[in-house]
Amino acid sequence: MPVDVLVGLQWGDEGKGKIVDVLAPTYDAVARFQGGPNAGHTLTFDGIKHVLHQVPSGIFHPHILNIVGNGVVLDPIVFRAELQKLTDRGVDWAKNLYISKKAQLILPSHRTLDRINEEARGGSKIGSTLKGIGPTYSDKIGRVGLRVGHILLPDFEARYKEAVAQHASLASHYNKELEIEELEADFFSAVDFLRTLQLIDTEYLLNDLLTQGKRILAEGAQGSLLDIDFGSYPYVTSSSTIAAGACTGLGIAPRHIDKVYGITKAYCTRVGSGPFPTELHDEVGEQIRQAGREFGSTTGRPRRTGWIDLPALRYAIMLNGVTELHLMKADVLDAFTEIQACTHYRTATGESTPQLPDPGELTTITPEYRTLPGWNSDLTIITDAAKLPANLKAYLDFLEQELQVPISIVSVGPDRVSTLHR
């Protein structure tokens, strides 16, 4: 059986966790392929909100294997706290959670370096979540990072001390000290906890499942426009967030990939710094923020808001090979009599283009909008896609025509049941 991949098509926070939770019952395994605790996947069901950071979003289904792949960077302290919250809510995760021994460890010193690096940028901050993601991936590429599998070796503590010494040297270039002593006891306690879990070579598990004809859903974090290669560089994350990253982040061959689910909001948001062509700085943007509860599930930071950006979506759809779209948070636009959709950009030379320019040019373009009638009705009470208001159906038809990909799911509320299949 194939692997289906779920990715965000914007700057993250599209609602991927909810969709994984909805789709998960039809799969045998959910595998997270990149990112770390900078991600926050929110799931709501039975009136309870759950926020996952590193645990795959299929964890609430007892029959599903949940796999943390080698492309993930793992913070043992955050991971232990996350699993404790699941235990407190009656979730039995012990038998169906597996962690790759090749996943990279986030050390306390990585978090300190993240803060030091961000502070040194002054007015040109990336907008890091300060979770140590960038420094951890830097160590991975520099071939000096520690992996989950290293905690099983007798010389782990020596390896740890060597890594911290290197980080202290880096901090000294900024005339800073790491000051991580108070965090280390908690870190080593969390490492002891991590040793009790199922730490395996997950690439073998995944390929064995494929051989057995099992269905796997690969779960991405962040969004395509934050991809380290194709996002709005340098205001991006430090991993490959597009569908191709599922292969390297899980150890599966490209020939196994079948469907690619692309997740997008009915509007657009962004957290942190970087260009955002359709951003709204007025009361409309604030209305969207409040209606959509647009505050980071990991950081709590207010998200920047704007109208949907079709050139950026076309670009993300192309990169990922998206086969079907899932439109999230349509209900957030319920109160609008008119909504806008950016269809093209006007360049500095006056040319109109449907393509996303190089990130360096994004601050020089002007969005060109098409005005569409709003549905001005309460979508949260609708349980059948056939009963969606005519203006929303027209909006969906417009998006499908512009993007040339079918919209198979429309979300009209945060709860699991507020997910309409078309």
Residue 301 assigned to a binding site: yes
Residue 8 assigned to a binding site: no
Give the active site residue among 4, 41, 110, 265: 41
Give the active site residue among 53, 102, 140, 344: 140
Cα–Cα distance list, 160 to 80, 148, 163 (Å):
19, 12, 5
Cα(243)–Cα(321) distance, integer angstroms: 8
Residue 16 assigned to a binding site: yes
Residue 298 assigned to a binding site: yes
Burial of 333 (0-12, 13-18, 19+ CB in 10 A): buried
Cα(399)–Cα(236) distance, integer angstroms: 26
- In the chain, the N- to C-terminal Cα span, in Å, equals 24
Contact 420, 381 (CB under 8 A): no
SS3 label, residue 176: coil
Residue 207 assigned to a binding site: no
Contact 405, 313 (CB under 8 A): no
13 is catalytic: yes
Query: Sign of the CA dihedral 144, 148, 149, 152?
Result: positive
Give the active site residue among 4, 13, 21, 309: 13
Residue 411 assigned to a binding site: yes
Residue 300 assigned to a binding site: yes
Q: Pull the structure tokens for residue 142.
A: 């520099």
Residue 270 assigned to a binding site: no
Residue 299 assigned to a binding site: yes
Residue 413 assigned to a binding site: yes
Residue 306 assigned to a binding site: no
In the annotated binding site for Mg(2+), the residues are: 13, 40
In the annotated binding site, the residues are: 12-18, 38-42, 129, 143, 222, 237, 297-303, 329-331, 411-413
Catalytic residues, by residue number, are: 13, 41, 140
In the annotated binding site for IMP, the residues are: 13-16, 38-41, 129, 143, 222, 237, 301
In the annotated binding site for GTP, the residues are: 12-18, 40-42, 303, 329-331, 411-413
